[in-house]
Amino acid sequence: MSENAKQQARNVLANLPTLLPDLESVYKDIHSHPELSMQEKRTAAIAADRLRSAGYAVTASVGKTGVVGILRNGEGPTIMLRADMDALPVRETTGLPYASSVTADENGKSVPVMHACGHDMHVAWLIGAATLLAQSRNEWRGTLMPLFQPAEETGAGAQAMIDDGLFRRFPKPSAILGQHVMVGTSGDISTRSGAITSAGDSLQIRMFGRGAHGSMPQASIDPVVMAAATVLRLQTIVSREIAPTDAAVVTVGSLQAGTKENVIPDEAIIKLNVRTFDEDVRKRVLAAIERIVNAEAEASRAPKKPEITLLDRYPLVKNDPEATKRAIGAFRSYFRADRVKDTQPTTASEDFGSFGTEWQVPSAFWFVGGTDPETYAKAKQSGTIADLPTNHNPRFAPVIHPTLGTGVEAMVVASQAWLSPQAD
Ligand SMILES: [Zn+2]
Ligand SMILES: [Zn+2]
């Protein structure tokens, strides 16, 4: 990033200290009013209001609760900035004064709801960046397109917006940018070129047997043994079929069969989750699962082929090398050099990747640390980083400062790497 472009980013961010108290109250308000996937009405209304008053043309209800803003500001590239809005069915135990005590309906059942993945922070970041850029239109040229998506946690939100005509109804961007709060020193930014979050596939496998009295195994086809053998054999995919230099996870998180010790049940249900970083490896793992499941059923004389159902699917988030280089270059010139770090790909999954992959637009995604710097340093020293509450933990609580300001700065600085007339 040139000196002039950096100065323009600084000019956009000059109003950040003035805006920050307001953003902090937006963040706390959203944190204490979390909404489950596809129920983000209140959050979407806040985002839409903020964009409108900043001067954006706003389209709401894209893919149910998604919000898209457009601000045209002369000739130049279109840049899409993405935030996700949904919370999780988790009971918050942070003890924060702005903690959530909200419950909501999930499939007819009342569940506690918490922003345990930090999407409240993402919404506040994007409101902040969109507001500051709209206030300083002399510092950039092009079209800014902030997008707030529903249902990241179920993997359905990005796709819902795409299915609702996102690509047809809005201008095709030159780049798509997104960021996520994570465990790490608050105020630090980390990213990498290539795969940054894994592809995720969740499957349900229903295996069929024949029920009988527990004392008469000869009359049964026991689905408990069938499923148990399957679970063990599935462990050999990663250890025996995937190269040690390739990474994959196959986790059977649920195995259910039967109700009583002396009744052989009719069927067993396995639920499993797969994480991979490469499309070929992903295909190999999924094919191996299908092969093993069918073969084990056959080995057990199952009366019917197992039923394999896809529960959800997250694409690989692959950072475009050119776009990522451009964003990192901007971060390195704006932030103190030691605040911008390289990261390994994480086995978390994200549907952010759908936008870039399906629209064929280069995208870049990065992490912003949200852990109190002193707490993180101590944990690092004592080798207990793994004990810090991660995303999805009921005690997940990013420190507001400097996390909130850093995310706004990162979004503005990265946008300016494209939108500043002096960018190249
Ligand atoms: Zn999450
Ligand atoms: Zn998340």
**Ligand 2: distance of its center to the CA of 174 in Å?**
24
Average pLDDT (213-232) is 97
Residue 348 has a pLDDT of: 87
- Distance separating alpha carbons of residues 71 and 263, to the nearest angstrom: 65
Measured distance CA(406)–CA(383) in Å, rounded? 26
Taking only the tens place, the pLDDT of each residue in 74-92 is: 999 999 999 999 999 999 9
Write down the pTM of the prediction: 0.90
Mean pLDDT (the chain) is: 96
Q: Could you read off the pLDDT of 236-287 as tens digits, one per residue?
A: 999 999 999 999 999 999 999 999 999 999 999 999 999 999 999 999 999 9
Instruction: Categorise residue 142: left if φ over 0, alpha if ψ from -120 to 50, beta otherwise.
Output: left
Is it the case that residue 124 has pLDDT exceeding 80? Answer: yes
- Span from the CA of 74 to the centroid of ligand 1 (angstroms): 36
Distance between Cα 295 and ligand 2 center (Å): 37
Note whether 412 and 133 are within 8 A (CB): yes
> What's the 85 CA to ligand 2 centre distance in angstroms?
9
For residue 135, the 8-state DSSP code is H
CA of 155 to the centre of ligand 2 (A): 10
Average pLDDT over residues 228-235: 98
Task: Output the CA 152–ligand 2 centroid distance in Å.
Answer: 7
Ligand 2 centroid–CA 35 distance in Å is: 14
Ligand 1 mean position, distance from CA 323 (Å): 24
For residue 5, report the distance from its CA to the centre of ligand 2, in Å: 31
Q: How far is the CA of 311 from the centre of ligand 1 (A)?
A: 16
CB 91 within 8 A of CB 114: yes
Query: Could you tell me the distance, in angstroms and rounded to a whole number, from the CA of residue 348 to the centre of ligand 1?
Result: 8
Model pLDDT for residues 16-35, shown as the tens digit of each residue: 999 999 999 999 999 999 99
Distance in Å, CA 236 to ligand 1 centroid? 28
Lookup result for tokens 């090398």:
321
**Separation of alpha carbons 281 and 399, rounded Å:** 37
What is the CA(179)–ligand 2 centre distance, in A?
A: 9
Percent of the chain with pLDDT over 70: 100
Rounded distance from Cα 314 to ligand 1 centre (Å):
12
CA of 350 to the centre of ligand 2 (A): 7
- Separation of CA 129 and ligand 2 centre (Å): 19
pLDDT, position 26: 98
Can you tell me the mean pLDDT for 186-194? 96
Alpha helices in 104-214 (DSSP H): 119-135, 157-163, 166-169
**Which one of the ligands is nearest to 365 CA?**
2
How far CA 212 is from CA of 207, 260, 300, in Å, comes to 16, 12, 15
Residue 424, pLDDT score: 66
The 10s digit of each residue's pLDDT in 324-367 is 999 999 999 999 889 999 999 988 899 999 999 999 999 999 99
Measured between its terminal Cα atoms, the distance across the chain in Å is: 7
The rounded Å distance from CA 116 to ligand 1 centre is 7
